[in-house]
Each structure stands twice: as structure tokens, then as C-alpha cells.
Amino acid sequence: MTQVQLSDPMRLVLAFVAAAGANGREMTGRGPTLQALKRRGLVEYRGSRALPRVNRWHASPDGRAWLAAQEARRDAR
């Protein structure tokens, strides 16, 4: 995966969404930061199969890999 440059707000939102793990984060999807992350393929909006259906934001595999690479770079310093 290539390293995508993210702004500070994008980095914070990605970390916030990824911290929720498998449950995801219930957030409004109209924010420009979430939409920019979605266009880059780092977050995704998924629904549950169980009733009542709940749509939440999740870090995509690429988003989790981006965060892991950032942590590895920070630890290497």
C-alpha cells in the first residue's frame, strides 16, 4: 500500500473510527473529513445484518494498514 498523506483532522478521525474496532462508529456521514477518507478508501460505511439495522463507519483494511504503518514509523524514530 502506498502511503497517503493525510491532514491532521483526517488522521484524528481515522484513528477515532479505527478505535471502535468491529462495532464501528455511529457518526453522521455528511462531514467533509469522513467523505475525504472514504474517497481514499480508508473508511467505509457498512450496515449490520441484525435487526434493527445499524449503519456505522468502519476503518477499511487499507485504513487499518495505514494506521499500523504510521505507528511503525513513529516507533522506529
The per-residue pLDDT string of the chain (77 residues; one tens digit each, 9 = 90 and over) reads 556 789 999 999 999 999 998 888 888 777 899 999 999 999 998 887 777 878 899 999 999 999 999 999 888 87
Cell 483532522 appears where? 9
CB–CB of 4/40 below 8 Å? yes
Model-level pTM greater than 0.75? yes
Give dist(CA 41, CA 50) in Å, integer.
25
Cell 457518526 appears where? 27
| Helix or strand holding residue 15 (H, E) | helix 8-18
